[in-house]
Structures are given as C-alpha cells and as structure tokens.
Amino acid sequence: MTEIAENKVARVHYTGTLPDSGEVFDSSEGRDPLTFLVGHKQMIPGFERELMGSKQGDKVEFTLSAEDAYGEHMPEAVQEVPSDMFGEITPEVGMTLMSDMGPFRVTAVNAETITVDFNHALAGHSLTFNVEVIEVRDASEDELSHGHAHGPGGIDH
C-alpha cells in the first residue's frame, strides 16, 4: 500500500486539540477529508513529518511544539494603534480583521487605543492532532508542477 511520502497526495480526517485544555480548535469532522500534496509547504511543518510512512486506515496521534506548528508568539507583533484608525468599524475583543499587513486579532479595547495581535491565533501553542489516513495516492504531473493537490478536496481549476 502507498505510504505518505514526498510528492504523494494524502487525504486525512483530523481533529486538532490544545493539549492543555483539551479544546478542539479545528476538525475535519462533518467535512470532506483534508487533501494535500506532501512536501510542498501546504501544511504546518510538523504535521507532514509525523505522518510520513503512514498508510490508508492508519490512525496517528501526535503533539507538535509551537515551533513545529504556527511558530512562537512574537511580542513585537502585538501593537497598540489609535482607535480612530478603524474608521466605521467598532473593534471588539476577539474580532479578526484584515489590514495591508495581513490579518490581525483585536485583543484589547482601551480608552483611546486598540491592542491588535498579528500573530496567528495558534502561535505559541503546542497542538495535538488525531489523524486518520483516508487515502494515499501518487500525485499527477500536473499536481507536482502546480505544487498542490487536484480532485476531491484539492484545488479545482
């Protein structure tokens, strides 16, 4: 049976939890399996590494350090900006908004300033994944030249 390796297309169901609290932060449950071309930086680094060698039907559980997932939380990516910069939007804690510098989250609303965080919401967290391998197949030449998976769960074009 085909094993997960560089340049294979893998389809997996997964549930991601925060090991400290057990909170589920993401899951493919109720959706199509996650489909990705292995070795093309589509996934966070540790995720593919832990799945290497797995086959259809395998169930794998692993915990990644923040470094292997969404990176450390960088204090310099937390900024205070004047509240009038938001124009017609009324910022609320927990909102995710888009800017020229990418998405950010509102983490505090102060009297005249807003604290915003450009870190990924999962930066600084260890993440536990429970993964079930649904399918592993060879990638087509098109998929390899595009650098992503086509077909069900992949990019459709």
- Smaller CB separation from Zn ion, 116 or 149: 149
Minimum CB separation from Zn ion for residue 103, in Å?
A: 24
Q: Is 73 in the site for Zn ion (CB under 5 A)?
A: no
Name the 3-class secondary structure at 143. Answer: helix
Rounded (10°) CA dihedral 81, 87, 88, 92: 0
- Give the separation between CA 103 and CA 112, rounded to whole angstroms: 21
Instruction: Give the C-alpha distances (Å, rounded to integers) separating 142 from 5, 16, 137, 147, 149.
Output: 18, 30, 14, 8, 9
Residue of minimal CB distance from Zn ion? 146
Among 21, 28, 146, 153, binds Zn ion (CB under 5 A): 146
Nearer to Zn ion, 50 or 143 (CB): 143
Q: How many residues at the interface with Zn ion, by CB under 5 A?
A: 1
Q: Which is nearer to Zn ion, 7 or 79 (CB)?
A: 7
CB of 140 to Zn ion, least distance (A): 10
Distance of alpha carbon 66 from the chain centroid:
12
Q: Which stretch binds Zn ion (CB under 5 A): 80-88, 96-104, 130-138, 146-154?
A: 146-154
Instruction: Determine the Cα–Cα distance for residues 10 and 101; give it in Å rounded to an integer.
Output: 32
Dist. CA 29–CA 6, nearest whole Å: 26
Choose between 19 and 151: whose C-beta lies nearer to Zn ion. 151
Cβ of residue 42: shortest distance to Zn ion, in angstroms? 12
Residue 146 belongs to what H/E stretch? helix 141-146
Instruction: State which residue, 90 or 145, has the beta carbon closest to Zn ion.
Output: 145
Handedness of CA 71, 72, 76, 82 (dihedral sign): positive
Residue range at the interface with Zn ion (CB under 5 A); choices 16-24, 86-94, 105-113, 145-153: 145-153
Contacts with Zn ion by CB under 5 A lie at 146
